[in-house]
Amino acid sequence: MARNPWFETVAEAQRRARRRLPGSVYGALLAGSERGRTIDDNVAAFDRLGFAPRVVGHHADRDLTTTVLGVPTALPVLISPTGVQAVHPAGEVAVARAAANRGVVMGLSSYASKPVEEVADAGPDLFFQLYWSGTREAMVQRMDRARAAGAKALIVTLDWSFSHGRDWGSPAIPEKLDLRTMLRHAPDVLPHPAWLWRYARSGRLPDLTVPNLRPPGGSSPTFFGAYGEWMRTVPPTWDDVAWLREEWGGPFLLKGVTRVDDARRAVDAGVTGLSVSNHGGNNLDTTPATLRVLPSVVAAVGDQVEVLLDGGVRRGGDVAKALALGARAVLIGRACLWGLAANGQAGVENVLDILRGGLDSAVLGLGHASVHDLSPDDLAIPPGFALALGSGADSRQGRDAAV
């Protein structure tokens, strides 16, 4: 009898993804840098917060809807942009269909394995993600292409320093798939026939190119070719961020903020929103958990721009905790990819349903009728939990105001 494809927790989706995927592919999803302290801290921070539930006065109906950058969403959960989704042949298209079926917004990476036009056709509520990479002319071309495809907002990611070296070893990711490469990786791939069978049925091999960085009239670069371009590009200034915002001309989310001073500079640059992020632990290791720095950022700029959070979200209760500390919504990356690996489009929908159910239970137990009613009063917050980075003399004031 075949195993029930449905799973009841994100942890089970991760276990199934680990069994199904070749080690190198699963290792790329796990990612992280150096010791992996930040990955662990992102998850553990949610466990350090407790709930303060109410016993009477519960609401029979709960409203979980919100808007993010002006786009309505059935759930305060966005799909975070993640690169080259070779865990499933349908890749980002399957994710877009799942997001559309559950009424949520999808972020599409410029390093995605599927072109923005194809993904936008599958899911209309799409935010396109851009790195500061290449020439200004190339970045304008990428923005114009995303806008023409129907992207409703731009996400600019600036928190990627790509620290090298992992204590547990980095996965071996080929630059391209040719016969020699396939033979070399056969011992890793052959023990995972279900993953191979999916690609065999699709009639194509995993594509390690990034079509959304294809220049007009040119071919799509490989992932490592695109990474090389990013490495050679002079890092941006705040004036460059303001230029990007002006060139885009619509809703603009800056991803990667953890410091109060950076949050204020982002507001000065004209952003519509910002995501408190440490790139899922793939940036500088020992950067504090995003949940711990969220309150200080909200206290500093939450009345001027929308503040989102990503990093470590595994349960609907985690979503509730982030919203209680002031986040407008959260973004999920690994959880989505584990669902995609476990069961394709249905697996991503499964993950979103898990988060919806957990969030609804939290809103019910805390005695609220809407996610917008969540506040720090709903949480048990241990002393010293919140941190205010880059706030100088007002560190204590910002922390106290937030929690």
CB-neighbour burial class of residue 339 (10 A; exposed 0-12, middle 13-18, buried 19+)? buried
Give the separation between CA 335 and CA 337, rounded to whole angstroms: 6
- Cα 207 to Cα 19, 93, 161, 178, 226: the distances in Å are 22, 14, 25, 11, 14
> Is 185 designated active site?
no
Give the separation between CA 232 and CA 135, rounded to whole angstroms: 10
Q: Give, in degrees to the nearest 5, the angle at Cα 126 between 125 and 132.
A: 160
Query: Looking up tokens 């599927």, which residue turns up?
Result: 114
DSSP state of 35: T
Instruction: Provide the residue type at 280 as one letter.
Output: G
Give the separation between CA 331 and CA 312, rounded to whole angstroms: 10
Of 88, 185, 279, 368, catalytic: 279
Q: Which residues of 36-62 are buried (b: 16+ CB within 10 A; e: fewer)?
A: bbbbebbbebbeebeeeeeeeeeeeeb
Catalytic amino acids? 279
